[in-house]
Structure 1
Amino acid sequence: MAITLIVGALAVVFDTTVVSVAINDLARELNSPLSTIQWVSTGYLLAVFVTIPLAGWSQSRLGGRRLWTAALGVFLLGSILSALAWDAAGLIAFRILQGLAGGIMMPLMATLLMQAAQGRNIGKVMAIITVPTALGPILGPVLGGLILHLADWRWLFFVNLPFCVVGGLLAWRNLPDDRPPADRPRARLDVVGLLLLCPGFAALLYGLSQVEGSAGRADATVLIPLIGGLALVGGFTARSLTRTSGALVNLRLFRHRAVASSATLLFLGGISLFGSMTLLPLYFQQVRGEDALGAGLLLIPQGVGALLARGLAGKYTDRLGPRGVAFAAFAFVAATTVPFAFVTAGTSEVLLMAALFVRGIALGAAMIAPMGAAYVGLEHEEIPDAGIITRIAQQLGGAVGIAVLAVILQHSTGDARTPSALADGFGTAFWWSVAFTSAAVPLCLLLPGLPEPAAPDDAAEAEAAAKV
Structure 2
Amino acid sequence: MTSPASGSSAPPSDKLDAGVLKIASVVVLGAIMSILDVTVVSVALPTFMSEFQATYATVAWTMTAYTLALASVIPLTGWAADRFGTKRLYLLALVLFVAGSVLCSMAWDVQSLIAFRVVQGFGGGMLMPLGMTIMTRAAGPHRVGRVMAVLGIPMLLGPIGGPILGGWLIEAATWHWIFLINLPIGIVALIVAVAVLPKDAPSKSESFDFVGMLLLSPGLALFLFGVSSLPETGTVASPRVLVSGIIGLVLVAAFVVHALRAKHPLIDLYLFRNRQLTYAVLTMTVFAVAFFGAGLLFPSYFLQVRGETTLAAGLLLAPQGLGAMLTMPIAGRFVDRIGPGKIVLVGLTLIIAGMGVFTQVDVETAYPLLLGALFVMGMGMGCTMMPTMTAALQTLTDQSIARGSTLMNIVQQAAGSIGTATMSVILTSRVISPEGSPEGTSGQPDSDALAQLPPEMQQSVLGSLADAFGDTFLVATLIMVVALIPAALLPRTRTTRSTEESGAAAVMH
What TM-score bracket applies, with the shorter chain setting the length?
over 0.9
Offset, 1:186? 4.5
Give 1:415 shift. Answer: 4.1
3-state DSSP class of the match of 2:97?
Answer: helix
- Contact kept, 8 Å, 1:47 with 1:96, in 2: the verdict is yes
Residues 326-365 of structure 1 correspond to what in structure 2 (within 5 A)?
A: 326-365=344-383
| Larger CA deviation: 78-87 vs 262-271 | 78-87
Which residue of 1 is the match for residue 61 of structure 2?
A: 39
Partner of 2:395: 377
Listed one character per residue, the Cα deviations across residues 236-263 of structure 1 (whole Å, up to 9, x for unaligned) are 01111223x3100111101111111111
RMSD (Å) for aligned C-alpha atoms: 1.8
Aligned-pair CA distance for 1:411: 2.6
Instruction: Return 246-255 or 392-401, whichever deviates more.
Output: 392-401
1:112 to 126, 134, 141: 134
1:154 to 168, 176, 186: 176
Q: Does 1:133 align with 2:151?
A: no
Give structure 2 stretches of 5+ with no counterpart: 1-22, 435-459, 499-509
Correspondence for 2:12? none
The letter for the 2-side match of 1:208 is V
CA distance in 1, matches of 2:473, 2:72: 31
Contact conserved, 2:70 with 2:413, CA < 8 A, in 1? no
Structure-2 separation of matches of 1:94 and 1:452 = 43
**1:231 aligned residue (246, 250, 256):** 250
Cα distance per residue 1:199-230 (max 9 Å; x no partner): 01001111111111122342111111111111
**Partner of residue 87 from structure 1, selected from 98, 109, 114:** 109
Shift of the 40–427 alpha-carbon distance from structure 1 to 2, 3 Å rule, reads closer
Q: Pick one of 409, 414, 428 that aligns with 1:396.
A: 414
Which of 292, 302, 305 is 2:310 aligned to? Answer: 292
Counterpart of 1:18 in 2: which secondary structure?
A: helix
Number of the residue aligned with 1:423: 466
Contact in 2 for aligned 1:209/1:403 (Cα 8 Å): yes
**Counterpart for residue 445 of structure 1:** 488
Matched, 1:280 2:302: no
Q: Structure 1: which 5+ residue stretches go unaligned?
A: 456-468
Deviating more after overlay: 190-199 vs 320-329: 320-329
CA change 1:397–1:168 in 2 (3 A) is same
Which of 303, 318, 321 is the equivalent residue of 2:339?
321
Q: Could you list the per-position Cα deviations for residues 335-357 of structure 1 after superposition, in whole angstroms to 9, with x for gaps in the alignment?
A: 22111111221111011101110
**Equivalent pair of 2:348/2:384 in contact (CA under 8 Å):** yes
Residues 407-416 or 299-308, more deviating: 407-416
1:365-419 C-alpha deviation (Å, 9 max, x unpaired): 1102111000132111101111011111111111121122222222333347533
User: In 2, Cα distance between the equivalents of 1:344 and 1:80?
Assistant: 40
Q: Is the 8 A contact 1:263 1:390 kept in 2?
A: yes
Relative to structure 1, the CA distance from residue 194 to residue 288 in structure 2 (aligned partners, 3 Å threshold; closer, same or farther) is same
The SS at the match of 2:233 is: coil
- Give the counterpart letter for 2:257 in structure 1: A
- Partner AA of 1:274 in structure 2: F
Aligned partner of 1:207 among 211, 223, 226? 226
Name the CA distance, whole Å, in 2 between partners of 1:185 and 1:178: 12
SS of the equivalent of 2:225 reads: helix
Conserved? CA contact 2:57–2:231, under 8 Å: no
In the alignment, the residues of structure 1 paired with residue 465 and residue 139 of structure 2 have an alpha-carbon distance, to the nearest angstrom, of 49
Alignment counterpart, residue 321 of structure 2, candidates 274, 292, 303 = 303
Q: What's the secondary structure of 1:374's corresponding residue?
A: helix
Partner of 2:82: 60
Q: Work out the CA distance in 2 between the residues paired with 1:297 and 1:393.
A: 30
Distance 1:37 1:423 in 2: 23
Amino acid of the residue matched to residue 171 of structure 2?
Answer: H
The alignment status of 1:101 with 2:101, answered yes or no, reads: no
Query: Once structures 1 and 2 are overlaid, which stretch shifts more, 10-19 or 198-207?
Result: 10-19
Task: Pick which of 436-445 and 4-13 moved more.
Answer: 4-13
**Structure 1 segments of 4+ aligned residues over 6 angstroms from their partners:** none
The separation in 2 between residues aligned to 1:350 and 1:265, in whole angstroms, is 31
Confirm whether residue 216 of structure 1 aligns to residue 238 of structure 2. Answer: no
CA distance, structure 2, for counterparts of residue 72 and residue 47 of structure 1: 15
Q: Which residue of 2 aligns with 1:247?
A: 265
Aligned counterpart, 2:281: 263
1:54-95 CA-to-partner distances (Å, cap 9, x unmatched) read 111111222111111111112121122222223333222221
Q: Does 1:168 align with 2:168?
A: no
Letter in 2 for 1:199: P
Percent identical: 38
1:141 Cα deviation after fit: 0.8
Structure 2 counterpart of 1:30 = 52
Residues 134 and 452 of structure 1: is their aligned pair in 2 closer, same or farther, counting only changes over 3 Å?
A: closer
Q: Secondary structure of 1:389's partner?
A: helix
Deviates more, 1:148-157 or 1:247-256: 148-157
**In structure 2, how many angstroms separate the alpha carbons of the residues matched to 1:433 and 1:34?**
22
Instruction: Give the total of aligned pairs.
Output: 451
After superposition, the Cα gap between the structure-2 partners of 1:7 and 1:454, relative to the gap in structure 1 and judged at 3 Å, is closer
Q: Deviations over 1:311-370 (max 9, x none)?
A: 111112112211111111112211221111112211110111011101111012110211
Distance 2:45 2:470 in 1: 25
Query: Which residue does 2:17 correspond to in 1?
Result: none
The two structures have a TM-score, normalised by structure 2, of 0.85
Q: Conserved in 2, the CA contact under 8 Å of 1:257 and 1:446?
A: no
Instruction: Give the Cα separation in 1 of the matches to 2:496 and 2:320.
Output: 35
More displaced 10-residue stretch of structure 1: 286-295 or 445-454: 445-454
Shift of 1:36: 3.3
Q: Distance in 1 between matches of 2:212 and 2:291?
A: 30
